[in-house]
Chain A
Amino acid sequence: MPHIILIGVNHKTAPVELRERLSFSTEETLAALRDLKQHPDITEALVFSTCNRTEIVYVCEKNNAVDTMTAFISRHKNIAVSEFASALYVFRKDEAVRHIFRVASSLDSMMVGEPQILGQVKQAYRTAVEARASGVLLNRMMHKAFSVAKQIRKETGIGDNAVSISYAAIELANKIFSDLSTKSVMLLGAGEMAELAVEHLLSHNVKQILVANRTFENAVVLAQKFNGQALGFEERESALADVDIIISSTGATEYVLTAAQVKKAMKKRQYKTLFFIDIAVPRDIDPKINTLSNAYVYDIDDLKTIVASNIQQREHETVKAERFVAEAVVKFRKWLDSLAIVPTIKAINDKMTAIVEMECDKTLSHLPHLSESDRDAIRRMTRAIASRAIHDPILFLRNTGDHRDDSLYLNVTRQLFHLDVSDDQ
């Protein structure tokens, strides 16, 4: 009976330094898979490595290949087993399947529901296929993982909510403006946070990006990066007439835009909507601006509150997603069991045949007076008895389906007949 085993570390069990040391690049993955294929006990394997996790899923005939695998990792990543053994988790059979399904569905991610993970899992699978390291079991399991991930994305709200500050800001911008591609953005300050927010905005293709910074050189550098235009910091007020979204992240201790300034600018722009995203601490944008009509100000705390409530809602959806995973695991198990029935039947047959042959030989050796045709008749009869005796049990095993737990019956059968199926395969 083949076992699916998963061993790995993730962001919950290992600090980033350790994860870095255990991570596999694509080349390393290919090399590792090539190596694993040589191993006699391991029939299929897949290596999945991202910045948050490194996991190896493999199929082996013996249950105890874990030590082999830790030794393998230790050798490949040049790291002592003792250094990562405590961070390592091992899942077997259903638990391994469940884990892979959960990972692909982004239920095990640091940011639950983040959409990138499915693509990464698919990439890892593609690599395994390329290396010819995946076989019947892993192929089936990975395809199930993709379909359950898709189902969860479609039927639960797990991916709906913005759970990072910049996504929350974009979500708001999309509820204020109908078409971001016609809107201009002004960055006040050239900080890292602003850069991140703008990267997300760029993926929505805004019309234009202006960068104003006290140090003009920095503004130029950032503007160049985003194909935008640099402004002198003093120009920010006059620029208000033409931009729609302002992202501020300066280190200023006082407001860099006051309500009076914005009020004046509003008149010039005919009260077209302005959206201020203030991610600076202390704040850059006068909160009183929010009371002006058609002006909206969100500071970092407001955005954090949104993110927190979104995360809460996401957790709520997680329950539903876990149910989908559980259903998929059961279905996959059923399929695995149906695979296991054939070798069991064969083993019963083989065993009975062996017994019959042995007993016949034993008995017939004491009866030398029988003619050849008599011997044949006796042999035929014993075989017929044996095959009649196991006919019903085999029929029972073949009739899978319904709602019974096939693996239970297989187990019982194997124990009753004292079979070690895996040796026969």
Chain B
Amino acid sequence: MGVQTAGTMLEFAFLLYVLSLAGYVFFLVNQQERIQKISAYLITAGVLVHLAGTAVLGTALGNLPVHNLVQSLSMAALAFGVMFLYVQYKFNLKMLGLFAAMLLSGTMLAVLLLPDTRVVPNEILKGFWFYCHIFLVFTGDAALGLACGAGILYLLQEKGIKAKTRGFFFKRLPSLDFLDFVSHACIITGFFLLTLGLVTGFVYAKLVWGRFWSWDFKEVFSMGAWLVYAVLLHLRLYSGWRGKKSAVMTIVGFAVIIFTFLGVNLFLGGHHQEFTK
């Protein structure tokens, strides 16, 4: 019963995301503030319904719904949505909504289409450290996803200015400085959360399996993604990797994260695989 209600709520959230996406596309073309506002309200409503749906699902299942691919994807989208609302509130980077609505609609489409195979959750996947690990990694990844979004916007704007053609996005996007600033702020937030997420993961692994590190593919790739951002932040500080290079790196980093999230489980296996069956 609860699971069914949750399913309907997720479908409704998806509908709101798609409507918001349509709104943002419309806004991209005609640049009416009113449309942007409506789209932002739609996406906010979507995230709230999504959050409620996830809560209903969690209550019905009796645990955090991250035990198969569909649940994990939905949770990742929710984390991204919440993070987006925060960034939107904080920086009011209007065009980021287009990126967020696209990503949310796409992910939720997958959530609704993919088969929701029931998994009996492993009893060890519980407890404070486990929940901390999940929460930190998902929100951290979400922030890094937004950094990638701002990075893409930066590249679009930079391309036009560099080529002196200005182009379609010139009037639609804010200044390069601002886009770089938002992207950087998201990287720092995401990196911080991801670092804590990895640490809590190590602690949890030590508690459950008796060792911090077990060369699990997901562990390796997560560390890889973490290193990409660590290098990026280092280079920014010491070699002036800002602007375009930084923007490209956010895209590379997020690609590694997506692969870590999906690819490792689908192609490589390991003890994280349970979450994406």
Contact = CB atoms under 8 A, between A and B. Distances in A.
Interface of A: 160, 172, 174-179, 266-267, 269-273, 290, 293-294, 296, 298, 302, 305-306
Given A175-B176, A176-B176, A178-B175, A302 B242 contact: no
Contacts of A160: 171
Given A175-B175, A273-B177, A302-B164, A294 B157 contact: no
A266 B161 contact: no
Listed residue (A179, A273, A294) with the most chain B CB atoms within 10 angstroms of its CB: A294
Contacts of A172: 161
A296 B243 contact: no
Contacts of B240: 266-267, 269-272
Nearest to A291: B162
B241 A271 contact: yes
Contacts, number: 51
Given A293-B243, A293-B244, 15 more contacts: A172-B161, A174-B175, A175-B157, A177-B175, A177-B177, A179-B177, A270-B242, A271-B239, A271-B242, A273-B243, A290-B162, A293-B245, A294-B244, A298-B164, A305-B164
Given A270-B240, A271-B243, A176 B162 contact: no
Interface string B163-178: 0101000110111111
Contacts of A271: 239-243
B12 interface: no
A176 B242 contact: no
Contacts of B171: 160
Instruction: List the 10 closest A-B pairs by CB distance, nearest first.
Output: A271-B240, A270-B240, A178-B178, A178-B177, A178-B175, A294-B243, A302-B164, A177-B177, A175-B175, A176-B176
Contacts of B243: 271, 273, 293-294
A306 B162 CA distance: 13
A182 B237 CA distance: 20
A305 B166 CA distance: 11
B244 A178 contact: no
B165 to A, nearest CB: 9
A185 to B, nearest CB: 16
Nearest to B166: A306
Nearest to A305: B164
A119 B225 CA distance: 58
A178 B174 contact: yes
